[in-house]
Amino acid sequence: MSTPGRGLHGQVLDTLGPAITAGEYPPGSVLRTDELAQQFEVSRSVMREAVRVLESMHLVESRRRVGVTVRPKYEWNVYDPQVIRWRLAGADRPQQLRSLTVLRSAIEPVAAGLAAKYATAEQCAALTECALGMVAHSRGHQLEGYLVHDMAFHRVILTASGNEMFARLGDVVAEVLAGRTHHEVMFEDPDPAAVTLHVQVAEAVREGDAVRAEELTREITVGALQELDILAP
């Protein structure tokens, strides 16, 4: 996935990024560029480029005479796909999964409502196809096939909303869905009710019924929240 080994500095980031996001270096920790360069056995120029990237993610701050200090978590660029991947791959995974699912519950219903208004004929067709694919793979342990169509479904919704910010969450949602299938406890077969909801959302979007599309999608996301025991008591 993503882009492994795009240069030495990228390989350094593959180690240093996860280490930082996992809290291995607590906030306020001070790193020295030269020392890191020695540890990773790369030249200072390569390490400097890596530090610049971490700096642009607000994971660290580089200051003269003091070094590279790790920033507190609340300053991180938590929407950076790379940061999200690092956190999902490490000890922070549960919290990351929860906050992303809450984010989904806010975004996706609104996106579905907008999709009902602005989706093109092609997008409606793609959506229906995805929903049918989900139905076709909803029984008999075809989890992988189901997942592919589920990811595609949500990606189309987010794209069809016409909002660039929503569209860019397609990868994130896909990663959450994939995580649920691969890492978390996944029931034998998907919940039939959820499958039906997806089909109905596709219908609502096709018919341009924004209110219904939003409401149905909200039911889907509520289901996702319940899976993680994030309830509304």
Residues 49-68 that bind DNA (CB under 7 A): 49, 51, 62-68
CB-nearer residue toward a second copy: 61 or 189: 61
35, two tokens: 């020392």
Among 14, 40, 80, 194, binds a second copy (CB under 8 A): 80
Pick the stretch among 19-27, 44-52, 104-112, 168-176 that binds DNA (CB under 7 A). Answer: 44-52
Three-class DSSP labels, the chain: CCCCCCCHHHHHHHHHHHHHHCCCCCCCCEECHHHHHHHHCCCHHHHHHHHHHHHHCCCEEEECCCEEEECCHHHCCCCCHHHHHHHHHCCCHHHHHHHHHHHHHHHHHHHHHHHHHHCCHHHHHHHHHHHHHHHHCCCCCCHHHHHHHHHHHHHHHHHHCCCHHHHCCHHHHHHHHHHHHHCCCCCCCCCHHHHHHHHHHHHHHHCCCHHHHHHHHHHHHHHHHHHCCCCCC
CB-nearer residue toward DNA: 2 or 226: 2
Phi first, then psi, for residue 142 (nearest 5°) are -105, 50
Work out whether 9 is an interface residue with DNA (CB under 7 A).
yes
Least distance CB 193 / a second copy (angstroms): 23
Residues 184-223 that bind a second copy (CB under 8 A): 210
Work out whether 44 is an interface residue with DNA (CB under 7 A).
yes
Least distance CB 35 / DNA (angstroms): 7
CB-nearer residue toward DNA: 42 or 152: 42
CB-nearer residue toward a second copy: 67 or 145: 67
Work out whether 8 is an interface residue with DNA (CB under 7 A).
yes
| # of chain residues touching a second copy (CB under 8 A) | 38
Residues 127-156 that bind a second copy (CB under 8 A): none
CB-nearer residue toward a second copy: 107 or 156: 107
Edge-to-edge strand order for the sheet containing 60-63? Answer: 30-31, 67-70, 60-63
Chain residues that interact with a second copy, rule: CB under 8 A: 9, 45, 48-49, 52-53, 55-57, 73-74, 76-82, 95, 99-100, 102-103, 105-107, 109-111, 114, 163-168, 210, 232
